[in-house]
Amino acid sequence: MAALDQTQVKEGVDQETVDAVREVGGAYKYGWETDIEMEYAPKGVNPDIVRLISEKNEEPEWMTEWRLQAFERWEKMDEPDWAMVSYPEIDFQDQYYYARPKSMEVKPKSLDEVDPKLLATYEKLGIPLKEQMILAGVEGAGDTPEEGRKVAVDAVFDSVSVGTTFQKELKEAGVIFCSISEAIREHPELVKKYLGSVVPVSDNFYATLNSAVFSDGSFVYVPPGVRCPMELSTYFRINAENTGQFERTLIIADKGSYVSYLEGCTAPQRDTAQLHAAVVEIIVEEDAEVKYSTVQNWYPGDENGKGGIYNFVTKRADCRGDRAKVMWTQVETGSAVTWKYPSCILRGDESQGEFYSIAIANNMQQADTGTKMVHLGKNTKSRIVSKGISAGKAQNTYRGLVSMHPKAKNSRNYTQCDSLLIGDKCGAHTVPYIEVKNNSSRVEHEATTSKVDDDQLFYCRQRGMDEEEAVALVVNGFCKDVLQALPMEFAMEAQQLVAISLEGSVG
């Protein structure tokens, strides 16, 4: 990509990093699949499958029970239909709920024992599972310590966690970062206490299904007063065909702690749609702060809407203690259908919730995404900045709730949702719910919809840019508020993604 080739690469930057970023250019670059021998549970979902998943993860009895109860509830629930998305009916019995590489049958004790094919997969994705410094060295990295920045990675491949890096170093700091299956075995008291406490088992159709069949995911516990020494990240890769990925993430930030968490995801290019239904629960105690950033780049399907991932995700953070703070940042560029509302429950007094989102839908993509800010405590603050971009024949909806409860005195919310339309066959929609039940709180909501400004385009073109470049630049400017909120490595990737996703949408 021209824009990338011109990027000034700072001296001393690892060629690998540059290449990894270059990988991002062009069309969907993660559409390849890893040829690896897999082991599947039988197709479909029923109590036996639930038990099987539980057994494969060597879970204690209480966990199996918990899953079975969830399954029982799920059977009585209906798929929600209120979102502005349409897709063929999903046959929940016609897919695999558990798939793991054969080589993972015996849990590798360290990363050295992991199947090289798996390591190569992540290498190719630009997520080296080696305990090495991820050299940032891109613009804005001025504050990076000389030895570079460390990011611990938990890599999830289909239904299982392949490995987690930097575990030892994190342990020294007191931080627990491991796969959720390991946490259930090693830290049952924490899991028992917090699992399902933010997103209850019967929260919604997909969350309930997830509770029954989640196969793996990440677990983070940051003890009181600890500032997590490095950024944590989980990389989700769907590889097997006809397989749903159901992962569960549980993050607990104890009093006065801080953690920044990154999430990335990709999948191979296939003709049939695949289901991804994750649940993320975050507990933020007094004075703690959690930053959760996502770059969602699941395979979006082809230009005719064939294939792609159905991304039905429930994410919620509970600010339990006073002055707790949570920040969601998401860049949604992938998935055929997105149904995702990362939310904040602001329970503690003076707690804060922030939501920054860029949702880009091109071709036949459909995105229905937004947030909920539930203000329960006094002097709570929330801010929502959502930028939706539609191109091709895509539909992009912002759906959100801001609720000020009677006891949430002196609370503030500011919401800004902007939509940008590129082309006359796409749609952009805004569905905010605003509920104000006391008068000392102030709520402001603003939304605009417009097309790419002709004057701005003209200006760029007159300076010698071609039309696509000019659109990318204008769009990047439109997204600036959100991109700025991302951790630096992500911001770089996201900026590239914004350009790629819109390729071919001009004219």
Partner 1 sequence: MALPEAKQTATEARLAALTLPEGGCLAAARHAALSRVQTMGLPGRRDEYWKYTRPDTLVQADVPEAAVFETGEPPMFNDFDRLKVVFVDGVFDAEASDDLSLEGITIERLADAEKKDIHWAKDLYGVLEARGQTPVQRPLAALNSAFATDGVVIHVTGKPSKPINLIYRHADTGSDAILHHVIRVDAGAEATILENGPAAARFNKCMEIDVADTGSLHLVRAQGRDHERRAATHLFARLGKESVFKSFTLTVNGVLTRNEAVIELTGDDAVAHIAGACVGDGDFHHDDTVFITHDALNCESRQVFKKVLRNGATGVFQGKILVKEGAQKTDGYQISQSLLLDDDSQFLAKPELEIYADDVACSHGSTSGAIDEEGLFYLRSRGVPKAEAIDLMTLAFLAEAVEEIEDGDVADAIIARLQGWLARRH
Which stretches of the chain bind partner 1, using CB under 8 A?
Answer: 82, 84, 406, 409, 419, 421-451
- Closer CB to partner 1, 18 or 447, in the complex: 447
Closest residue by Cα to residue 209 from 177, 246, 239, 167: 246
Closest to partner 1 by CB, 51 vs 409, is: 409
Q: Least Å distance between CB 452 and partner 1? A: 9
Residue nearer to partner 1 on the CB measure, 186 or 444: 444
State the nearest-atom distance from the C-beta of 507 to partner 1, in Å.
13
Pick the closer one to partner 1 by CB: 19 or 435.
435
CB closer to partner 1, 208 vs 441: 441
Residue 68: in which H helix or E strand, if any? helix 61-75
Which contiguous run of DSSP H or E holds residue 209? helix 205-213
Task: Please give the C-alpha separations between residue 23 and each of 358, 360, 494, in angstroms, as whole numbers.
Answer: 21, 19, 13
Quote the least distance from Cβ 440 to partner 1, whole Å: 6
Both tokens of 476, joined, read 């990047």
Element (H, E) at 474: helix 467-483
DSSP annotation of 126 = T
Question: Residue 25 carries which DSSP code?
Answer: S
Residue 10 or residue 451: which is nearer to partner 1 going by CB? 451
Least distance (Å) between residue 506 CB and partner 1: 12
3-state secondary structure 143-191: CCCCCCECEEEEEEECCEEEEECCHHHHHHHCCEEEEHHHHHHHCHHHH
Instruction: Give the nearest distance from C-beta 294 to partner 1 in angstroms.
Output: 25
Q: Which CB sits closer to partner 1, 62 or 433?
A: 433
Q: Output helix, strand, coil percentages for the chain, rounded to the nearest 5.
A: 25, 35, 40
In the bound complex, what is the minimum distance in angstroms from residue 498's beta carbon to partner 1? 18
Nearest distance from C-beta of residue 148 to partner 1, angstroms: 44
Are the CB atoms for 84 and 367 separated by under 8 Å? no
Closest CA to 97 of 125, 114, 74, 130: 74
Token pair 């696509």 is at which residue?
468
